[in-house]
Amino acid sequence: MRSITNNFLVRILAILAICAFIAVSVVQFSKYQSQKAKLEALKAQVIAQEDRNALLRDRVSKEIDDDYIINAARTKLDLHLPEEIVFYNDIQ
């Protein structure tokens, strides 16, 4: 009779251990998937930043000539040359 009780107790403990292992595994797998998604988002950010860095390096490496200055004045400062005629359109 005593061995049946011990055998039953061992089975119950084994089942509880397996259930605990499964529960911990599910939680860890969920955390893993979350971290994997964050990693992919960060990799995408790194790629975008590397592209931006390459563009900025290209801009810095270019010589500053008159065409660059004129283009920057037109696009960034909204300036124009004295001989140019500027038309404004207020219609939206």
Structure confidence by residue, pLDDT tens digits, 55-80: 999 888 877 888 888 888 888 888 88
The pLDDT score that the predictor gives to residue 22 is 96
Query: Is residue 45 within 8 Å of residue 51, measured between CB atoms?
Result: no
* Structural domain count, the chain: 1
Domain-located, residue 88: no
Could you read off the pLDDT of 39-54 as tens digits, one per residue?
A: 999 999 999 999 999 9
Q: Domain of residue 55: give its range.
A: 2-76
Domain-located, residue 91: no
Q: Is pLDDT at 19 greater than 90 in this prediction? A: yes
pTM assigned to the model = 0.52
The pLDDT score that the predictor gives to residue 36 is 96
